[in-house]
Amino acid sequence: MTSSLPGPGDRPVLVVDFGAQYAQLIARRVREARVYSEIVPHTWTAQRLLALDPGAIILSGGPASVFEPGAPRLDPELLASGVPVLGICYGFQAMAHALGAPVDRAALGEYGSTMVQLVAPNAVLDDAVSGLPLSAGFTARPAGEAEAPRAGLLAGSPDHQTVWMSHGVAVTGPPDGFTVLATSPGAPVAAFEDRQRRLYGVQWHPEVRHTPLGQATLENFLFNQAGLRPDWTPGSIVAAQVAAVRAQAGPHRVICGLSGGVDSAVAAALVQRAIGERLTCVFVDHGLLREGEREQVERDFVAVTGARLIVHDARQRFLEALAGVSEPEAKRKIIGREFIRAFEVAARQAARGVVSNDGDAVLAGDADPESGPPGGEVGPAGRPGPAGRPGPAGDVKFLVQGTLYPDVVESGGGSGAATIKSHHNVGGLPDDLSFELIEPLRTLFKDEVRAVGTELGLPDAMVWRQPFPGPGLAIRIVGEVTADRLETIRRADGIVREELSRAGLDRQIWQCPVVLLADVRSVGVQGDERTYGHPVVLRPVTSDDAMTADFSRLDYDLLARIAGRITGEVRQVNRVVLDVTSKPPGTIEWE
C-alpha cells in the first residue's frame, strides 16, 4: 500500500483496505467530493493510522468473514480515538464485531441491487431479528411518542432506497449505544450509527454507481459528520505540489523524460512552474509515435510552459534494432533497451547543456556514435537555440517521473524510494542512473491529472490525449516493424483520431487503437483493379480504470466515414474491421 503522501487541505481521509476490489474506488469518490484521501493497509496498527492525524477513516469491504480464523481484525483503540469512522460492507461488520455486536452468516445472502428500508428514528429493535423479512424486526415507536426527524448519516434519505449489496454475512444486532438506521431482507442491521462517538456503518457499497444515493451518503459523512472541507481542488493541488517540488529540488537542476503523454506533460509543467529554467525536458523520438506528436510537444508544450526541451532523434537506431523482429515480447524488450541507451545519451547532453544569450538551450554535442545524429534543443519559442554561454552550474540531480497514485498503491510502494518501471513515462531506466526521483503526480488519479493539466494551461489536445503504449506503434503492427508500415498505421491512426474529434467523442471514448495486420493480405477492389492490401482493425473502447473495458458503440455513419477515408487515403489498406471484444477476455492492445 502506501504511506502518507503530501496533500493540500484538511487532514487526510484514510481508506483502510481490507482486500476490497473497490478500495481505490472509495478513495476516488472521496476525492470527487474534493477531500484528500489515501489508501492504507489493514495491517497498520491503530497507532500508525492515528499518527497520520486523519480527518476521518473509512473501512473498506473485503472477501473475509469476521468470525473466520485469520480474518482481518479492527483494533478497538481506533474506534475509541474520537476520529470519525465509516465502515463499509466488511468494514461495517468488522466495526460491529470489534464492539461486541453479533455477526453471523446471513439467512439470505444479498448480491447486487437490493432495496433497503430506513428505520424510523425512534423505532425499537426486537430481541430476535435474524432471518426476519424486511423491517419485521422493528416495532413501532412507543405510544404517544412523536416521530423524530431523521438526522445523522442518512439524513435526507427516502424511506426506501436501492443499494448495491455483496454479502453472505450480516450484522444481526447493533453494538451498545448504536442506533439502527436501515434494514434489508438479508441484513437485519444494514446501517447504524453512534453520533456521540462519531462511528457509522453501512452494509452496502455507497462508492459504486449502482447505489444512486451513495455519493450523497459519503458526502454527508465527510462534511456533516466529520466536519471536513471540500478544498482538494486543482488549484490547491498545483500550489501544494509546486511548493513540494521547490523544497525537494533546492538549487539543483532537474531532467524530465517527456513522452508527449498527459502524465509526463503535466508532471513537467508542474516542475517547470516550480523551478523554471533549472528543468530540462528530454523527448526521445524513436519513430514509433503517432502523427503530429513530436510537433505537438515541440510547439504546444514549449509554448505553454516555456520549458527547455531537448529533442533526441533516434528513429534510425530503433528501426535498425527492430528489423526482422515480429514477436511482440521481443519488440518490447528491444524498444526498452534502445530507449535506455538513447535516454542516457540525451541525459548526458542535458547535464552538459548550454544556454544561449536569448535564453534558448541547445545540445552540448555529446553525441553517441551509435545513437545516430543528435536532435536539437528547443527554446521557449520552439526554435533551435544557438550555442552560447554556459548553463546553470552543477550536475543534474533529479529525474521527474509521472508516477500516478494507482502505480503507488498497486506496487505496494510509498514508504521508500520508488522503483522506476518500464511502464512509466520515461521508459525502463536502469537502476544505476544517478538521479533522485521527483514525482509530483504520485498523489493523483488520472482524472485529477487531467484537471491539473487544464489548471496549468496545457491544451486540451495534450490533456485529453488518448492513452498510448510505451512501445508505441510497434505493438500495433502485427508483424515486422518497417518504415513503410509505420507510415501506413500512422496515417490510418491519424484519420481515426481526426474523425473522432470532429464527432466530439474525445472525452467519451477512452481510446481507439488502430492495429495493422501487416502479415495478412486481404483481397479487394480499388480503382477497378484487384488489390491485395492490408486490413486494419479499429478498437474503440470505454473504461474507467483500464482494468476492464467495453467496446464503444460508434455510430454507423461515423464508422463508414472512417473506413472510406482510410481505404481512400491509405493505399496500402483495403479493408477496415471493427473489434467488438470486451476486456476481459480481450486486452486493449493486440500485442
Contact 245, 440 (CB under 8 A): yes
Among this protein's residues, is 512 annotated catalytic? Answer: no
Contact 459, 266 (CB under 8 A): no
The helix/strand/coil state of 517 is coil
Q: Is residue 370 classed exposed, middle or buried when 0-12, 13-18 and 19+ CB atoms within 10 A define those classes? A: exposed
Which cell numbers in the block locate residue 241?
A: 505540489
Specify the pairing of strand 279-285 against strand 308-313. Answer: parallel
| DSSP for residue 298 | I
Q: Which helix (H) or strand (E) holds 451?
A: helix 446-455
Alpha-carbon distance 529 to 522, whole Å? 13
Among this protein's residues, is 281 annotated catalytic? Answer: no
Among this protein's residues, is 205 annotated catalytic? Answer: yes
Amino acid in the structure at residue 435: F
Alpha-carbon distance 187 to 260, whole Å? 51
Q: Where are the beta strands (DSSP E) in 60-186?
A: 85-88, 103-118, 124-125, 138-139, 160-171, 179-184
**What residues have CB less than 8 Å from 559, skipping those under 6 apart?**
538, 578
Which cell numbers in the block locate residue 543?
A: 473504461
Select from 423, 433, 501 the least CA-distant residue to 469.
Answer: 423
Alpha-carbon distance 41 to 543, whole Å? 26
Catalytic residue among 32, 110, 193, 207: 207
Select from 453, 562, 541, 550 the least CA-distant residue to 497.
Answer: 562
Catalytic residue among 42, 97, 167, 205: 205
Positions annotated as catalytic residues are: 89, 205, 207
